[in-house]
Structure 1
Amino acid sequence: MTELTLEQRIDRLESTEAIRQLAGKYSLSLDMRDLDAHVGLFAPDIRVGRDKVGREHLKAWVDSTLRDQFTGTSHHLGQHIIEFIDPDHAIGVVYSKNEHETGAEWVIMQMLYWDDYERIDGHWYFRRRLPCYWYATDLNKPPIGDMKMRWPGREPYEGTFHGLFRSWKAFWSERPDPSLLPEVAAPAPIDQFLTRMRGDTPAPRIRVR
């Protein structure tokens, strides 16, 4: 990898912080129902579904989802890993633990977002957010066992929390011989940790909650 100049390193630091701010602003604007602020975090030509483009369509979709399903929400962010593809494009993974008031139940959730970011006219935006869920369940009902996505009024189903990374199935597919030392791969190069972990795993099909 070519060594970055001082100017490029400063730009990388500023871009990293701007992207971290995006994730925080996403949660705050969503929880406070400021939908104009929320959709303004996405690229102007953001794709919504299969055949719609633009923030207007995104705002309509978010508005309908929030009004139909949730009285209140709170999104608590965890670790955020960011990797740059080039100066104006990056990817990231953000952990999020969420709480939802939905009808007579209080639903808790653990998930992560796989993000694509793009800098447009000097500002960083979400190009895409891929939500991958581990569980969702009533606060008083631990999600032990399979089918951990347990929304009120819906049949339980599997989330996609682990499906994005090939290591999960590989780990459980076979138990190594304890008498042999395992092989250890070389560490991933800088800015290739996420891409190496995911490999060629396609984006999972996400069910709308």
Structure 2
Amino acid sequence: MDNSRLLARVDRLESIEEIRQLAAKYSLSLDMRDLDAHVNLFAPDIRVSHEKVGRIHLKAWLDDTLRNQFTGTSHHLGQHIIEFKDPDHAIGALYSKNEHECGGEWVIMQMLYWDDYERIEGRWYFRRRLPCYWYATDLNKPPVGDMKMRWPGREPYDGAFHELFPSWKTFWATRPDRDKLPEVAVPAPVEHFLETMRRGAPTPKIRVR
């Protein structure tokens, strides 16, 4: 193996680890309410809304959200798949199981983050973080049935947990012929597992909790 290929492989491994640390730092800084540490995990020109760009606006939005909705939170990370578009851009899917103290209720949540990462001046940042929710409900109220997003004081609604991947709807919309063995698709390339599963689906619009 020539030196350039070896350096590229080392760089890829170091990038994967830095991105995983980025996700872990996101949870810790959010739960400990260190908003400066938190917003500095995002690109300096992070888009917060159609009109607002930058970490200062992200910090203001976070401060308002965290003070008015939650007494405390705890984010527990699960599996993390990372794929690279080029040496300085990557995407990722990360599971998260979260707990929230909301006044007199304890709300549990299952979700995944759909992330875009960018390396800027040698350091990895979140370029975009899309929260796709499956359910949110009081600890003592299992979210069985439709509209699993059940925040205190709000009407229930559907999350976007399954909208990233068309296979969910396809699975339930079709019935296999039990007299025939199913066909198996060609395995996805190692670096394109997520994009293959996405099958060109549009990015869902997330309802703010």
TM over 0.5: yes
Q: 1:181 and 2:176 equivalent?
A: no
Give 1:202 deviation, angstroms: 1.2
TM-superposed CA distance for 1:146, in Å, is 0.4
Q: Does 1:73 align with 2:73?
A: yes
Aligned partner letter, 2:127: R
Aligned equivalents of 2:50, 2:198: Cα separation in 1: 24
Q: How does 1:115-194 map to 2 (within 5 A)?
A: 115-194=115-194
3-state SS of 2:85 partner: strand
Superposed counterparts of 1:1-209, under 5 Å: 5-209=5-209
CA RMSD after TM alignment: 0.7
The one-letter code of the counterpart of 2:206 is: I
Q: Is the partner of 1:5 in helix, strand or coil?
A: helix
Using the aligned pairs only, state the percent identity: 78
Distance 1:187 1:133 in 2: 28
- Stretches (4+) displaced over 6 A: none
Query: 1:189: Cα distance to partner?
Result: 0.6
The alpha-carbon deviation at position 16 of structure 1 amounts to 0.2
Separation in structure 2 between the aligned mates of residue 69 and residue 50 of structure 1, nearest angstrom: 23
Determine the C-alpha separation between the residues in 2 that align with 1:177 and 1:206: 36
**Distance in 1 between the 2:101 and 2:203 partners?**
29
Residues of 2 paired with 1:207 and 1:150: CA distance? 13
User: How many correspondences in the alignment?
Assistant: 206
Report how far residue 18 of structure 1 moved: 0.2
Under a length normalisation based on structure 2, what TM-score does the superposition of the two structures give? 0.97
How far 1:115 moved relative to its partner?
0.2
How far residue 24 of structure 1 moved from its aligned partner, in angstroms, is 0.1
Following the alignment from structure 1 to structure 2, what is the Cα–Cα distance between the partners of residues 147 and 153? 15
List alignment gaps of at least 5 residues for structure 2: none
Q: Counterpart of 2:155 in 1: which secondary structure?
A: coil
Structure 1 segments unaligned to the other structure (5+ residues): none
CA-to-aligned-CA distance 1:103-146 (integer Å, 9 cap, x gap): 10000000000000000000000000000000000000000000
Equivalent-residue separation in structure 2 for 1:50 and 1:111 (angstroms): 25
- Matched position secondary structure for 1:116: strand
Q: State the Cα distance separating 1:58 from its structure 2 match.
A: 0.4
2:190 counterpart SS class: coil
TM-score, length basis structure 1:
0.97
